[in-house]
Amino acid sequence: MNLAAVEALIGKGLAQSPLGVTIFDAELRIVWANEAAESGTSGPPLGWRGRRLAEVMPDIDTSLVEQSLRRVLDTGETVLDLLVTSRGRSSPGDRGSSGDRGSSGDAGGRGAERYWSCYQFPFPVGTPGGGAGRVIQLMRDVTERALSQRRLALGDRASAQIGRTLDTTRTAEELLDVLVPDLADVGAVDLLATVIDGDLLARRARHDSLRLQRVALRWSGGARAPAEYRRLASTETNPVSLHHRRLVAGLPLFLPAFGAMSIEQVRQMDIGAGQERLLVARRAGAHSLMVVPLVARGVIMGLVVMYRLRGSKPFTGADLLLADAVVSRAALSMDNARLYTRERASALVLQRALLPHDIPEVPGLDVCHRYTPAEATAEAGGDWFDVIPLRPGRYALVVGDVTGHDIHAAAVMGQLRTATRTLASLDLTPAGVLARLDRVTADLTCNETFATCVYAIFDTATGEWDIARAGHPAPALAQPGRKARFLDLPPGLPLGLGSGHYEAIRVKTSPCSTLVLYTDGLIERPGTDLATGMAKLATALTPLSRLPVGDACDALLASLAPGPTDDVALLMARRAGRDTRG
C-alpha cells in the first residue's frame, strides 16, 4: 500500500486532525503521519516514512508504545488511553529555564516532561492479526490533565500524612515519606536550630548566614545513604552565595542538569559546608537537584533538598511547582509544631517557677517530692504540690491538678497554690480549706476550669493525719510487711463546681508507714481504666516501703510512668521511727 493509497483511505479528516496521527506497517515502520504528529519531535513528518518511532520521537517512551502496537497487530484489539511520557525539546511551555521560580542549570535544551494519551487500532479496521495489516495511532497531549491528577494525588497524600503530630522532626519525616520516591529519589530536610528548639523566629537579615541542622533524610528504595553523606549533619550558608540569596528570598534553587555541571562549577556555588554534600551526592549518582525553602508566615524555617539519581529522569518545572506546593503545606505544619513547642516550653517554665523549689523539714516525717512533666509529645498541665507549716507541730501536705494543658492551666495552678497557702494560715480543717478553695476556683475561672485536690494535715505529736479530697485520686498508704492500700476517703466534687461540701477522715499511722499523694498522671494510661492503674500502684508500692523514701519515689515513677502522657506530681511522707513488727 503506497502513500497515495493510504491518504485516499483516510481522506482529509485524519490529515487535518489536531491529534497526532501515525500509521505503522507490520514491522512497526512509519507509513504515514499528519502534520500534528510533529509536535515535540525532532523533525517534520515528511521525513518519517520507513523509519521507526524511536528515530523520529527519541524523547518519548517508545518501548512502551511499540509493545502496545505489536499487541494490536497480533490480536486486532483496540487500545484506549495508553499513557506515555516524553521530554520534548524546549518549547514556549517549558518551565525548565531560569527565572523567578528558580535558577536552572539545564544546558541540554530539553523541555518539560509531557504526557500523551495514545489510541491504537488496526487499519483498515478489522484487519486480522498475524502481521499482515497496519496499525494506526492517535496521540493527544494530556499533560495538564496528568499533572493535575498527579498534583491532586500528591496533595491528598500530603494532607493525610503531614502534620499528624505537633513535632517538627516527625513532620519533616512525614514530608519525606510523601516526596520519596514519588517525586524524588533522595530527600532531606534541614531546619534552623531555632525551629528545632521552638524559639522565637525574627525575620533574618539577608547578610546573616543560616545555620541549618539536618533532621530527616530519606534514600529511595529503603537504601541507606552513603556514610560520608550522613556524616554531614549541619551546614552554614555563605551570605554572598546564590544559594543563600535565593533561600532568604524564599526562592528555590533548581538545577535539573546538576549532573552535567563540572566539579568546579559546583564548588563555585559556594554554599558553605553544603558544598561537600553536593559533591558526595554527585558521587552517589545524583544528577538533578531541587532545593525548596521551608517558609511559613513570611519566615524561613529551613529547606528541603531533593535529588534524582542515575536511572531517573531529570526534574522538570512541573516537578518544581509540585514540590513547592507540598513543601509549603509542610512548612505550615512545622510552624504550628514550632509554636506549640514554644508554648509548651513557656508553660513548663511558668509551671516550674510556680512550684516550690524547697520544702520545709517536717519533724517526725521523711518527705520526698517529684514533679515529672509529660513527655515532649504532650502538653504541660496544672499539677502542683506543697508542704505548708501551720501552727507548731502541724503541717499541711497538698497535691492538686488543674484541668487543661496550657499556660492558662499553669497560671490557675499558681493562683490556687497561693490561695491554698493563704487559707492554710487560717488554721482551718482540711474540709474547710477545700470548701473555700472551691469558691476561689469558681471565681478565678468562671466555671470554665476545674481542679482536683487532696489536703492532709499531719500532727507531729500524735502521728495522726486529717485528710480531705476534692475529686482527687485517693491517697495510698504503704506499711512494711503489708500490701499497700488506698484510704477510704469521701471523694468530694472537684474544686470550682460550687458544692462547697467536703468531708475529712482521721488516720492513725504506725512508724515507718508511708502516705503517698499523687496526681492522676501516675495511674492513668490511654486504653486502661482507673481501677487497673490503682491496682498497679498498690502492687508497685508494696515492696518499696523499706527503701529510702527518695529511692522509693524514683522507683515508683520508673515503674508506672517512665514516659508519662500527663504530668505527674508525687509527694511521699514516711513516719520516722522503728518498725516493731517481726
The per-residue pLDDT for range 13-24, each reduced to its tens digit, is 666 778 888 999
Query: Is the backbone peptide bond immediately before 181 cis, with ω within 30 degrees of 0?
Result: yes
Percent of the chain, pLDDT > 70? 80
- Same-domain status, 253 and 328: yes
Reported as type and span, the H/E element at residue 190 is: strand 186-192
Whether the pLDDT of residue 582 is over 50: the answer is no
Examine the domain organization and report whether 25 and 134 are in the same domain: yes
So what's the pLDDT on residue 186? 92
The upper half-sphere exposure of residue 581, i.e. CA atoms within 13 Å in the direction of its Cβ, equals 9
Residue with cell 506549640: 340
E strand or H helix that includes residue 514 = strand 514-518
Shared domain for 216 and 338, answered yes or no, is yes
- How far does CA 215 lie from the centroid of its chain? 11
The mean-pLDDT minimum among 16-20, 365-369, 540-544 falls in 16-20
Question: Could you report the per-residue pLDDT of 90-101, keeping only the tens digit for each?
Answer: 332 333 333 344
User: Residue 39's domain is classified under what CATH number?
Assistant: 3.30.450.20
What stretches of 249-319 adopt beta strand conformation (E)?
253-255, 286-296, 299-309
State the CATH number of the domain containing residue 478: 3.60.40.10
580 is a domain residue: no
Q: How many domains does the chain have?
A: 3
Q: Are residues 120 and 79 in the same domain?
A: yes
Q: Alpha-carbon distance 492 to 103, whole Å? A: 69
Type of residue numbered 504: A
**What is the residue whose three cell numbers read 488516720?**
507
Q: What pLDDT score does 115 carry?
A: 85
Amino acid occupying residue 306? M
Question: Which pLDDT does position 44 carry in this prediction?
Answer: 57
266 or 430: which carries more pLDDT confidence? 430
**Do residue 23 and residue 160 come from a single domain?**
no
Rounded mean pLDDT, 61-79: 91
In angstroms, the CA 9 to CA 24 distance is 15
Residues 6+ apart with CB under 8 A from 531: none
pLDDT(109) > 60: no
Q: For residue 228, what is its C-alpha cell? A: 560520608
- Are residues 313 and 182 part of one domain? yes
- pLDDT at residue number 274: 58
427-448, pLDDT tens digit by residue? 899 999 999 999 999 888 766 7
Report the percentage of the chain scoring pLDDT > 90: 34
Concatenating the DSSP letter of every residue in 77-93 gives --EEEEEEEEEEEP-TT
Q: Which domain holds residue 66?
A: 3-88+113-141
Q: Looking at the domain assignment, is residue 102 inside a domain?
A: no
Confidence at residue 460, expressed as pLDDT on a 0 to 100 scale:
92
Outline where 162-203 has alpha helix (H).
168-179, 193-197
Structural domain contains residue 13 = yes
> With bands split at pLDDT 50, 70 and 90, how would you rate the model's confidence at 131?
very low
Model confidence pLDDT, tens digit, residues 216-242: 998 886 667 777 777 667 777 777 777
pLDDT for 272 equals 45
| Same domain? 163 vs 281 | yes
Q: Are residues 50 and 182 in the same domain?
A: no
Domain endpoint, select from 310, 329, 346: 346
Does residue 111 carry a pLDDT above 60? Answer: no
Least confident piece of the model among 320-324, 437-441, 499-503: 499-503
106 class by beta-carbon count within 10 Å (0-12 exposed, 13-18 middle, 19+ buried): buried
The answer to whether residues 339 and 345 touch, using CB atoms and an 8 Å cutoff, is no
State whether 39 and 163 are in the same domain: no
E strand map for 256-393? 286-296, 299-309, 365-372, 382-389
